[in-house]
A and B are shown apart, each in its own frame.
Chain A
């Protein structure tokens, strides 16, 4: 009976390997995207993380623009912003043979090979929001000007705390091109102003609970922190919680990046004093435009940078403030 299971396994392994080997031959031509067809393109959007207002707003922009072009869109995202979770999702999306993939890579190096595989299958790639070490696999990379966004965050703190003091960065994790650039922009601006002491950046791994514990611990060590720059959605949520835990509401200015419903509420409540809103909808719209251009064989813009808006309590109810806020659903 032992022999039996061993034999079954051996047979199975042979079948699996055989299938993998010969199956690929018939497929090695890749998904020919048929140059002549106009419209009816199949687009796929791979989010950095599912259920995040930033990516939902981007999805809204993508769907709107795709509808105009007569293209269909499917959206997929992992439950955490992590390359180990995004890789199998991307692989499945590639296997479903879309004409183009819009993707927010979760790691500058780890996603390089999986995305290169998509290109090898004849799929057009557009990088939205985040990018790669070598973005040349994509026809276009569209993102916010994140360094400028980081500088804007420091300018917001300068206005909120004109006397200067200690400032802290709460980042996501190193290796994400966008948040790295934001942190860098913030750091450069903070170091350029002698009135401020830059305490460095701590990483929350995109976990609000970890951001909260970082901020409450930092406030124990340096109770005189005047400003915190939380470089993404979850870091900002956690930072606000951390400040509440330490009982420092009103004494520490938090500048968040992004303007999801929770941030807008935090801004209204006064736990966050300013938000740097990106334009995810615009990124999505331009992403679709670039993808369609590539599919039609037109030339692409390799790099597009979109702007950002500073939202404070004063501008939150203005038409511009409302337009800049992210959506929780389309």
Chain B
């Protein structure tokens, strides 16, 4: 972390942008503090049960599938788009994978890899369709993905006649869904962490990530600078679809069922996590890390409320309030940043103080 001090001071031209990106990181940090405080409160209330290995393991397992979806969603939202179809694409991919694994037969790793290929291909297909409709046909992403939300679930129900499939091979269930990679570290969480780290590297370290920010900040400027905006949008939606397909296979391993009826709120939960994590729904700003933290918050709250005996319906109320409050605070800070006045965050000011010289 000490390497950060060598970051070059921002020049006057791109000062607003760097300030904005700095703030989005600040936001992720703030959410992390919120998460830590939440965990600390529940730990204090239930010292003997909350911070136990079993409970942490459970919380991480329950976040894992959302996190895989959240990575793709973060990219899509950074481009200024939205993907409402992830829950349905997850179900569809799970259904296709299940059918193909049954046709292939067996309970071992071979079958799982066949299922993986099927799930990824189905997810990718829906993602490409979304991307082409958004980028080439210029249909607003909200409408495109609302359409595929409905259609993908419909196809899944047509294939299954509405009956959940439950033929996940034993390896998928016992080794991936509920297995441990080492000790008590759940495989599904490690798989998800790998996806998250891949997403972080892709977003912050590669040209693909840079283009994603560029498309979301100012598509026209990106185009003039030589970014193939349409192709890039298609790639981003395809990536989100691919991850939804992957999540479909994980879901099949975790629930041993295609959960046709159970994913209707999934896209909204994921979008809420992305927004809480500091990614701007207007595009151009965001981080995968923030998303993961944003996804943990509702799950930790639910877990803590159950353990402290609070009526679980409160979780929805609190998550709703946190979502709006976080985005409001974020909005205030961004407005202040654009004006050039320093943000009033005394307890965090050191975290981003390396280049805090207002240009106005």
Which residues of A line the B interface, CB within 8 A? Answer: 1-13, 16-17, 19-28, 50, 74, 76-80, 82-85, 87-89, 91-97, 107, 109-110, 112-113, 117, 121, 173-175, 203, 205-206
Chain B positions 300-323 with a Cβ under 8 Å from a chain A Cβ = 302-304, 306-307, 309, 312-313
Asked if B58 and A88 sit within 8 Å, CB to CB, the answer is yes
Task: Give the docked Cα–Cα distance between A11 and B21 (Å).
Answer: 21
Asked if A1 and B25 sit within 8 Å, CB to CB, the answer is yes
Is the contact region of chain A dominated by helix, strand, or loop, or is it mixed? helix
Asked if A83 and B182 sit within 8 Å, CB to CB, the answer is no
Taking the closest CB of chain B, its distance from the CB of A72, in whole angstroms, is: 10
Task: Give the docked Cα–Cα distance between A91 and B178 (Å).
Answer: 13
List the 7 closest A-B pairs by CB distance, nearest first.
A24-B53, A23-B53, A24-B184, A95-B55, A84-B262, A91-B58, A92-B306
Chain B positions 15-70 with a Cβ under 8 Å from a chain A Cβ = 21-22, 25, 28, 32, 46, 48-62
Asked if B309 and A74 sit within 8 Å, CB to CB, the answer is yes
Check if B201 is an interface residue, CB within 8 A of chain A: yes
Contact A89 to B306, CB < 8 A, known contacts A28-B184, A110-B257: yes
Taking the closest CB of chain A, its distance from the CB of B357, in whole angstroms, is: 15
Query: Which residue of chain A has the shortest Cβ distance to B306 in the bound complex?
Result: A92
Q: Which residues of chain B are near A74, meaning CB under 8 Å? A: 309
Task: Give the docked Cα–Cα distance between A121 and B52 (Å).
Answer: 12
Q: Which residues of chain B are near A117, meaning CB under 8 Å? A: 178
Task: Give the docked Cα–Cα distance between A25 and B354 (Å).
Answer: 41
B307 touches which of A9, A27, A85, A95 (Cβ 8 Å)? A95
Is the contact region of chain B dominated by helix, strand, or loop, or is it mixed? helix
Asked if A94 and B58 sit within 8 Å, CB to CB, the answer is yes
Asked if B256 and A110 sit within 8 Å, CB to CB, the answer is yes
Query: Which residue of chain A has the shortest Cβ distance to B1 in the bound complex?
Result: A7
Task: Give the docked Cα–Cα distance between A96 and B51 (Å).
Answer: 10
Q: How large is the interface on B (under 10, 10 to 19, 20 to 34, 35 or more residues)?
A: 35 or more
Check if B263 is an interface residue, CB within 8 A of chain A: yes
Task: Give the docked Cα–Cα distance between A76 and B311 (Å).
Answer: 8
Asked if A5 and B204 sit within 8 Å, CB to CB, the answer is yes
Contact A23 to B51, CB < 8 A, known contacts A82-B262, A83-B259, A110-B255: yes
A-B pairs with beta carbons under 8 Å apart, 23 shown: A1-B22, A3-B3, A10-B197, A12-B32, A17-B185, A20-B56, A20-B57, A20-B189, A21-B53, A24-B53, A82-B262, A83-B262, A84-B255, A91-B58, A92-B58, A92-B306, A93-B306, A94-B58, A95-B49, A96-B46, A107-B164, A107-B255, A175-B166
Check if B287 is an interface residue, CB within 8 A of chain A: yes
Task: Give the docked Cα–Cα distance between A89 and B178 (Å).
Answer: 16
Taking the closest CB of chain A, its distance from the CB of B299, in whole angstroms, is: 7
Asked if A1 and B4 sit within 8 Å, CB to CB, the answer is yes
Check if B294 is an interface residue, CB within 8 A of chain A: no
Asked if A109 and B200 sit within 8 Å, CB to CB, the answer is no
Check if B226 is an interface residue, CB within 8 A of chain A: no
Q: Which residues of chain A are near B3, meaning CB under 8 Å? A: 3-4, 7
Asked if B302 and A113 sit within 8 Å, CB to CB, the answer is no
A203 touches which of B162, B186, B257 (Cβ 8 Å)? B162
Task: Give the docked Cα–Cα distance between A2 and B3 (Å).
Answer: 10
